[in-house]
Amino acid sequence: MELLAKAAREGQPVDVAALMAVVPYCAFLGVKASLRGEEVVLEMPFDPKLVGNPIIPALHGGVIGSLLETAAIVQAIWSTRAVKIPKPVDFTVDYLRTGRAVTTYAKARLARQGRRVVNVHAELWQEDEARPIATLRGHFLLAGQ
């Protein structure tokens, strides 16, 4: 991705907000990114197209999983100053609560970083950050860095 390569050439960290804007799926979901210190926080405003169960209404599980994966990848890019998008090796999503029809947030942290692989933990919450609605644990390949 040219945005990552340009940031690396200039010796600057990648602009996470610009990164979200150029990823079509993130634009479709309405995801916005901001920094809280060295932590990338993603925000996804509620939109009726994100509902999986209209009776409750509840966010679609795929939307929840993809937002967690995106948070993990963006945090890996930010923390490692990656010049290529890390590739998922494996990850597990734990669905803890129903995702309601409100704004949803996600953040991640690198639990361990090796030369080629990072272990990332991510959390997704809505009104209360202390009550996650889903979590992710995964490994991502930094090959080609």
Domains (range + CATH), the chain: 2-141 (3.10.129.10)
Q: Where are the beta strands (DSSP E) in 5-48?
A: 32-36, 39-44
Which residue bears the tokens 């490692």?
A: 80
Give the pLDDT score at 145: 53
Torsion angle (degrees, nearest 10) of CA 66, 72, 73, 78: 140
Which residue bears the tokens 């994966």?
A: 69
Quick one: the chain helix, strand, coil %, rounded to 5?
30, 35, 35
The model's pTM is 0.91
Spatial distance between the Cα atoms of 139 and 119, rounded to a whole number of angstroms: 5
Contact, 110 vs 75, CB < 8 A? yes
- pLDDT (tens, 9 = 90+) of the chain, 145 residues, equals 678 778 778 887 788 888 888 889 999 999 999 999 989 999 999 999 999 988 988 999 999 999 999 999 999 999 998 888 999 999 999 999 999 999 999 999 999 998 899 999 999 999 999 999 999 999 999 976 5
